[in-house]
Amino acid sequence: MSHLIPVGISSRHLHVHQQDLETLFGKGHSLTKTKDLSQTGQYACEETVTLVTCKSQIEKVRILGPVRKDTQVELSLTDCIKLGIQVPIRESGNLEGTPGIQIIGPSGKVLLESGVIVAARHIHMSPKDAERFCVEPGEIVSAYASGPRSITFNQVVIRIREDFVLDFHIDTDEANAANLKNGDTVELIKLP
């Protein structure tokens, strides 16, 4: 039985609430899909914004669709250093106590009070995959990447949902450290 899981690398991006989308891009605006992502129903959008802090800014940060119930910004630790902000490593959606940021679009600005995270590394999988890998939702595992910059990623969260496609999600910092590309594979290691 193979314990290999494809890698999906996530660069900086944000998810937006409809009201914030309209503030940034104009009343009645809807997202423009450019390409599907690995997870069912998720897609990259044409729309980009600028993230601004007191120290710096990052332009052309892509929005991912569809719209969500909360606006959430996902950065790498390198992005956080550039912006001069301290951001916790969290699972997506766990926004309590997170810092905010100013988001600038072509039609307006949103001052996000909270919602900036560095996404915790995680593995998406369906219930069928979970059964095959003998893991439970929220279980913490490791993932081993072989190669010239081999590394074991610890503290990997298992996320299970019927519509999830098997994927090991890491950010660009983590991928670069291990010389990983989209579609490479890692081996799931269950902890004792």
C-alpha–C-alpha distance, residues 142 and 86, integer Å: 25
1: pLDDT strictly greater than 90: no
Considering the domain architecture, whether residues 18 and 87 belong to the same structural domain is answered as yes
pLDDT band of residue 191 (cuts 50, 70, 90) is: confident
Considering the domain architecture, whether residues 109 and 15 belong to the same structural domain is answered as yes
C-alpha–C-alpha distance, residues 44 and 119, integer Å: 17
C-alpha–C-alpha distance, residues 22 and 83, integer Å: 25
Last residue of one domain, picked from the residues 104, 119, 134? 119
- pLDDT tens per residue, range 23-63: 999 999 999 999 999 999 999 999 999 999 999 999 999 99
- pLDDT tens per residue, range 168-184: 999 999 999 999 999 99
Considering the domain architecture, whether residues 113 and 125 belong to the same structural domain is answered as no
CATH number of the domain bearing residue 149: 2.40.40.20
3: pLDDT strictly greater than 90: no
Considering the domain architecture, whether residues 73 and 95 belong to the same structural domain is answered as yes
Q: Domain for residue 67, yes or no?
A: yes
Considering the domain architecture, whether residues 41 and 92 belong to the same structural domain is answered as yes
Domain of residue 140 covers 121-189
- pLDDT tens per residue, range 106-157: 999 999 999 999 999 999 999 999 999 999 999 999 999 999 999 999 999 9
Determine the 3-state secondary structure of 146 from DSSP: coil
Considering the domain architecture, whether residues 95 and 25 belong to the same structural domain is answered as yes
pLDDT at 192: 80
Amino acid at 173: D
Q: Domain for residue 93, yes or no?
A: yes
Q: In this structure, are residues 48 and 34 in contact, taking their beta carbons and an 8 Å threshold?
A: no
